[in-house]
Amino acid sequence: MPGILPTVFTAFMDKFLVRGGKPLKGKIEIGGAKNSALPCLAATLLTPETVTLHNVPYVKDLITQRRLLEDLGATVLTPELRTHKVTARNVQIYEAPYELVKTMRASVLALGPLLARFGQAKVSLPGGCAIGTRPIDLHLKAFEQLGATVSLESGDVVARAPKGRLVGNNIEFEKVTVTGTENVMMAAALGSGKTVIKNAAQEPEIEDLAELLNKMGARIKGAGTPVIEIEGVEALGGAEHTIIPDRIETGTFMVAAAITHGELEIKSCRPEHIKAVINKLREAGVEIEELNQSTLHVRCGSGGLKAKDVTTEPHPDFPTDMQAQYMALMTQAEGESKVIETIFENRFMHASELIRMGADINISGNTAVVRGKTKLMGAPIIASDLRASASLVLAALCAEGETLIDRVYHIDRGYETIVRKFRSLGADIQRITESIAIAADESAK
Ligand code: UD1
């Protein structure tokens, strides 16, 4: 309407400007595992007592998870940046709203603890996301097997334990699910009787969560194997726990050393958690030495990189969260490699951006055929999801010229101070914050 000014607010769209071609050299410290800290923070809802978590990475997803806990009524203190002291004594709301679930699917991890402790939980049903449909049907079916009633009401999953407490049962997942296993483990920890989870996910993050739960008084055996046994207890108490190092951040820096023909000492990591990645990179010509139990020395071998096929599978095989970074590496390897993605149906969004930079990649179904070695050239590109953005940064670091990567808020979800870390290793990368004015009615679209 003429004469009336629209309401305007400012949005910040960060980009990375990378000038490639510099070999990365030096030492780098790995932070705590995002995918372990997320369920461990959710587990604090299981007790009215204080749970202290150390080595929580300072990344966007954890800030969101903290907000969720606070919205529910928990108190979260951070005496140090990476230490969270959570007391969920006065929880009065049992609900994870759509605003949070749509920005971070891991908010569904609140479902198990809320249902187990308070006998009720409401979590907005996550929609599709950039890497596929990602349903939570297996979580819900398992809750029903533990005696819960589950219904869908206006886009929310509403779960109730009719007798107030869940009841142990045998649960066999038809597909391996990481957060599904974690949700059920947390729920069953406070149930009555014994729960056995078969075909459980075996990721190190499951073991880490089980270790925390056992410190809180749970009785869980077999975490890290396909069969987990949980003897339910009546109440859980406070505990103190240090989150394991992030194996995907470790793998990403291993690829960074190799793709830039640099040499890195990667400290505070757990090589035994990423054996499949280490083995695959060695096959492809990367020299990896385990200096001790928490330090790796990585550099590109003198024979250069060789194309090697990879297939993503649940742990202990090659992780889907390293597929995009590995594909970037294969663009620099001699020969043809197949990258097969079996976990998520739409996780090749980075391929089209790599092609814009000069990569030779053909996608057919769940298989990407990468022909190398191709010279990558800087270009304006767009990040589509967390790990895709990591792969684009890696490609940009070895490309000739300037690459401008848009929508890097994805990488901020899971990589702590990534720009500072790469710069400390000699990379020419900077964050550019652009503010754009958006009319309120525009932003609603
Ligand atoms: C977790 C990780 C994510 C990783 C993924 C696979 C966290 C916070 N996220 O995600 O980084 O990429 O494991 O290693 O830990 N599925 C169903 N129904 C369900 C649950 C899953 O069909 O109820 C399917 C999914 O669509 C997918 C497969 O099972 O195809 C594995 O998914 P899942 O292991 O559950 O992934 P997340 O736990 O969401």
Residue 131 has pLDDT above 70, yes or no: no
Top pLDDT among 247 and 7 is at: 247
Predicted confidence band at 98 (pLDDT cuts at 50, 70, 90)?
confident
Confidence at residue 92, expressed as pLDDT on a 0 to 100 scale: 86
Residue 120 has pLDDT above 50, yes or no: yes
| Alpha carbon distance 10, 435 (integer Å) | 6
| Residue (of 125, 146, 145, 144) closest to 136 by Cα position | 125
C-beta of residue 239 within 8 angstroms of C-beta of residue 51:
yes
pLDDT of residue 239: 98
In this prediction, residue 63 carries a pLDDT of 93
Distances 25 to 116, 209, 289 between C-alpha atoms, Å: 48, 34, 15
User: Residue 213: what pLDDT?
Assistant: 98
Nearest CA to ligand 1 atom 1: 178
Q: Which of 104, 175, 202, 311 to mutate to test the pocket of ligand 1 (most atoms within 8 A of CB)?
A: 175
pLDDT tens digits for range 266-281: 999 999 999 999 999 9
Q: Is the shortest distance between the CB of 129 and ligand 1 below 6 Å?
A: no
Positive/negative CA dihedral, 90, 193, 197, 224: positive
Ligand 1 contact, 180 CB (< 6 A): yes
- At 103 the pLDDT is 82
pLDDT tens for residues 7-43? 555 556 899 999 999 999 999 999 999 999 999 999 9
- To the query of whether residue 300 is one of the catalytic residues in this protein, the response is no
Using pLDDT thresholds of 50, 70 and 90, give the confidence band for residue 102: confident
> How confident is the model at residue 354, as a pLDDT?
97
- In angstroms, what is the span from residue 136 Cα to ligand 1's centroid? 9
Confidence at residue 101, expressed as pLDDT on a 0 to 100 scale: 80
- Cα(436) to centroid(ligand 1), Å: 34
111 lines ligand 1 (CB under 6 A): no
Among 40, 129, 300, 398, which one carries the catalytic annotation?
Answer: 129
pLDDT at position 439 over 60: no
Average pLDDT score over residue span 422-443: 78
Task: Tell me if 46 sits within 8 A of 116, measured CB to CB.
Answer: yes
3 contacts: CB under 8 Å, gap ≥ 6: none
Question: For residue 98, how far is its CA from the centre of ligand 1 (angstroms)?
Answer: 19
391 lines ligand 1 (CB under 6 A): no
Q: What percent of the chain has pLDDT over 70?
A: 93
- pLDDT of 356 over the 50 cut: yes
d(CA 344, CA 188): 27
Q: How much is the average pLDDT of 99-126?
A: 89
pTM for the structure as a whole: 0.94
* Adjacency order of strands within the sheet including 295-300: 25-29, 263-267, 295-300, 286-292
Coil/strand/helix, residue 256 = helix
Sheet holding 380-382, edge to edge: 380-382, 402-406, 8-19, 428-439
CA-CA distance, 305 to 371, in Å (whole number)? 12
Nearest to 58 by CA among 66, 70, 69: 66
Q: Is the CB of 141 under 6 A from ligand 1?
A: no
pLDDT of 429 over the 80 cut: yes
Closest-lying ligand 1 atom to the alpha carbon of residue 179 = 38
Cα distance between residue 274 and residue 295, in whole Å:
13
Q: Whose CA is nearest to atom 3 of ligand 1?
A: 321
Say yes or no: CB of residue 175 within 6 Å of ligand 1.
yes
pLDDT score of 302: 87
343 lines ligand 1 (CB under 6 A): yes
List % helix, strand, coil for the chain (3-state, nearest 5): 35, 30, 35
Average pLDDT, the chain: 92
Q: What is the pLDDT of residue 443?
A: 40
Whether ligand 1 lies within 6 angstroms of the CB of 253 is answered as no
pLDDT of residue 124: 85
Residue 320 has pLDDT above 50, yes or no: yes
Residue 134 Cα to ligand 1 midpoint, Å, equals 7
Q: How far is the CA of 17 from the centre of ligand 1 (A)?
A: 32
Looking at residue 384, what is its pLDDT?
87
Q: What is the mean pLDDT of residues 342-356?
A: 93
Pocket lining: 230 vs ligand 1, CB cutoff 6 Å: no
More confidently predicted of 107 and 255: 255
Atom of ligand 1 nearest to the CA of 182: 38
Per-residue pLDDT band for 441 (boundaries 50, 70, 90) equals very low
Average pLDDT over residues 380-394: 93
Using the predicted structure, report yes or no on whether residue 4 has a pLDDT greater than 60. Answer: no
Mind listing the pLDDT tens digit for each residue in 162-205? Answer: 888 999 999 999 999 999 999 999 999 999 999 999 999 999 99
CA 190 to chain centre: 26
Say which residue, 304 or 10, is predicted with more confidence. 304
Mutate to test the pocket of ligand 1, among 179, 203, 248, 326 (most ligand atoms within 8 A of CB): 179
pLDDT of residue 100: 82
Distance CA 298, CA 300 (A): 7
pLDDT of residue 172: 98
Give the strand pairing for 286-292 and 295-300. antiparallel
pLDDT of residue 445: 35
Structure tokens at 131: 């890497």
127 pLDDT more than 80? no
